[in-house]
Chains A and B, each alone.
Chain A
């Protein structure tokens, strides 16, 4: 058997060509025009105003709920003994999980040289930042005395007070604040060349000043680019472990305790997979309308939808593995509390939540095996929504159903969220969306210079 020159070999079957990451016919100029015009020349549409207005309204609901919370205290929420961790922690985990997709796309896919990420990394990173901001609110609000939140940091003080470093809740403070800082830096550094483009293309003096200040004197010289690439790669290297570590630490918040349903060793990888799962669902829920309303189908192509759907399918299966193993061990292990937890999930007062979560996270997303559905934006949008609901329900089951019936029957209880819980939760969704609306209006939502790198013209010819 020998390897022969391929021109002698007849190729009888070739696979269908993959959808491109950028539609043909674009040049450096059209890419720059198209993306920067959304910010600079396109008039503010009515749709944007309505969307932003509505999100802003919800943000005001959040403000109202928080203000009342500060006046009255956490008693206005549904939390009590035994369920001391209610919506606040459910929402915290949900939001921080959503953020993970942005970091995965921007850092890990960059290191893996997955160039398709170039069209979605910018707004995915923005999504990360806003999601982390929403997430960060909850534990602080949950403190009871949020104005003393800085006590969580180890700082020299006269109270002879020091955080308990054996508590994963303290690890969380460091994990999340590191994550927020790195994500912000990464996002901002990525924006600098594009901010310079906006500075150079805007005709309005004030805009030139603002974008000019933000661009930090970027001139696009070869030396700038060389240093920029190094800095960007270093930041990607720093951000990569965070994809794993942040949600791992979040999972320790639960797993370090001995509550049945919390204390299980699969939690770290299972939380990370769940985080990426919900994160990609949110990316799709944002990308699909954005590409539609701003006519960006050339840049966010079917390929991006396909790939995101595949990531969701894979991470969803890891989550399903987690459920399966957890349920099996509950039965196999012979620990009565674990077995009861399983029973309580299936037959207890919150069984509807558990079955909905199985449907949303495991059964319905299996339709993503079908290629046609993976490339259909409308279907993907719906399935992503289902997954986001499912992942929220999962955190509800973990937090609430585990706590409501623990070892002692005498301490069992129910958890009912109050309207303040709901208002805070929905308010953060409004805050998140309002931030996204502002972002797409005032900053380039797709990385202009990285899109230009995807063009065939940008390919370096071998010598």
Chain B
């Protein structure tokens, strides 16, 4: 049985994408102007919020790339139907590289190790920093490593996009072997680079604290936010052709299952870190949690437990809920907000012992998001929503048989 309805379907992005691009750009520019004013008024708060916004949107881009590579390895219609959305998110990496540039300039507002050592009162910390800033946490090393991370990410994204674009033109070619050959090592590279990037950019704010699972917590958060982002975008597109013809409840169901998987992994990693550090109760480790549980920050931690795990977990157990894009999108939006809250809880308590939310914590991530989304929608509009000449596109419009014998 083939569904003749989708034959001769126009695959280009609907006009709504261009409209969203304009709207995002307007929001981005307005908030960016306010943010720049804020940068002069409250420079330290600006940079704290800047790092938060940067990590949030970087996560969506890198997570999208990771899911794209997972699909190349595993196959499945769920991934084909969103691969161009994720490709568009992934191709924002050059913008994110550009957005990274202010961070080394604002390093003194973010990283204690970048300040003159004499200004640090704690002798023990000073001694540790004296060693580690020579070997690893030097400004030069920080910048060189960032260049390497972005080079790897943009390189991966470049080849994945280029090969995907070849499927927009005849003849139909099966290039899955090549994509697989890149995606396997690509995922390994992603895991290592994002872990070290997370250490460099976030964990090193508190250079005397370590946790070996930290990179994985950041990684899984990125992948989760990317899957939620894809659900939000597919919801916007599903009212228009071609997505209205392509997005089946089975695919939405799979997206919901992925959200549940990533959510559970996030909870598993976060809980493991918490339990091990709590039980060890060592002064150099537990301080990280004490900072995040006292002084009002604990309420945000509790919020994470309830809204970043318990509520979404219960909702995602329901099969009808996962299959309904109009319901799932609300959870996906909520989880994107919780990703912001989680990063806020990870980053901001470093700078204030008592809870503090500044207007810049909202304005800067929104400004960055507006610009990022404008670029994303621009990318999305520039390519058809499905690579028509990839043999795997069949997975999207053919009915899902029981794959006996496959």
CB within 8 Å for A335 and B284 given contacts A2-B11, A3-B6, A329-B210: yes
Q: Is the CB of B268 within 8 A of A258?
A: no
Q: Is the CB of B216 within 8 A of A269?
A: yes
Quick one: CB contact mask for A1-45 with B, threshold 8 Å, 1 for yes?
111111001111111000011100000000000000000000000
Neighbour of A265 across the interface among B11, B132, B168, B276, CB < 8 A: B276
CB within 8 Å for A332 and B168 given contacts A1-B384, A269-B272, A324-B192: no
A393 to B174, CA, bound (A): 43
A206 to B377, CA, bound (A): 73
CB of B319, distance to nearest CB on chain A (Å): 13
Chain A residues contacting B268 (CB-CB under 8 Å) are 244, 248, 268-269
Which single residue of chain A is at the shortest CB-CB distance from B284? A335
A130 to B10, CA, bound (A): 58
Q: How many residues of A contact B (CB 8 A)?
A: 53
CB within 8 Å for A460 and B212 given contacts A4-B7, A11-B171, A12-B171: no
Q: Is the CB of B136 within 8 A of A332?
A: yes
Chain B residues contacting A14 (CB-CB under 8 Å) are 174, 391
CB within 8 Å for A9 and B170 given contacts A15-B177, A258-B280, A264-B212: yes
Chain B residues contacting A269 (CB-CB under 8 Å) are 213, 216, 268-269, 272
CB of B322, distance to nearest CB on chain A (Å): 14
A343 to B242, CA, bound (A): 60
A438 to B44, CA, bound (A): 71
Mark the stretch among A48-56, A63-71, A148-156, A450-458 that contacts chain B. Answer: A450-458
Query: A47 at the A/B interface (Cβ < 8 Å)?
Result: no
Quick one: CB contact mask for A383-411 with B, threshold 8 Å, 1 for yes?
00000000000000000000000000000
Size band of the interface chain B makes with A: 35 or more
Interface residues of A in 268-308 (CB under 8 A from B): 268-269
Q: Is the CB of B12 within 8 A of A265?
A: no
Chain B residues contacting A263 (CB-CB under 8 Å) are 276, 280, 282
Interface residues of B in 135-193 (CB under 8 A from A): 136, 168, 170-177, 184, 188, 191-192
A326 to B388, CA, bound (A): 45
Neighbour of B171 across the interface among A5, A9, A244, A459, CB < 8 A: A9
A285 to B11, CA, bound (A): 49
Q: Is the CB of A334 within 8 A of B272?
A: no
CB within 8 Å for A9 and B389 given contacts A14-B174, A269-B216, A269-B269: yes
CB of A250, distance to nearest CB on chain B (Å): 13
Chain A residues contacting B388 (CB-CB under 8 Å) are 1-4
Query: A333 at the A/B interface (Cβ < 8 Å)?
Result: yes
A1 to B8, CA, bound (A): 9
Which single residue of chain A is at the shortest CB-CB distance from B214? A265
CB of A271, distance to nearest CB on chain B (Å): 10
A266 to B10, CA, bound (A): 48
CB within 8 Å for A10 and B172 given contacts A1-B384, A15-B177, A317-B188: yes
Which single residue of chain A is at the shortest CB-CB distance from B217? A265
Query: B211 at the A/B interface (Cβ < 8 Å)?
Result: yes
Q: Is the CB of B208 within 8 A of A334?
A: yes
A20 to B405, CA, bound (A): 8
A13 to B170, CA, bound (A): 12
Query: B402 at the A/B interface (Cβ < 8 Å)?
Result: yes
Quick one: CB contact mask for B373-406 with A, threshold 8 Å, 1 for yes?
0000000000010101101011001010111111
Neighbour of A332 across the interface among B1, B171, B210, B389, CB < 8 A: B210
Interchain residue pairs with CB less than 8 A apart (17): A1-B11, A1-B384, A2-B11, A3-B7, A3-B242, A3-B388, A3-B393, A6-B394, A14-B391, A115-B403, A166-B279, A256-B276, A266-B212, A267-B276, A269-B216, A329-B211, A333-B284
A residues apposed to B, CB below 8 Å: 1-6, 9-15, 20-22, 113, 115, 166, 244, 248, 252, 255-258, 263-269, 317, 321-322, 324-326, 329, 332-335, 369, 453-456, 458-460, 462
Given contacts A115-B403, A248-B268, A258-B280, 12 further A-B contacts (CB under 8 A): A2-B8, A2-B388, A3-B386, A5-B7, A9-B171, A10-B170, A21-B405, A265-B276, A267-B212, A322-B212, A333-B284, A462-B1
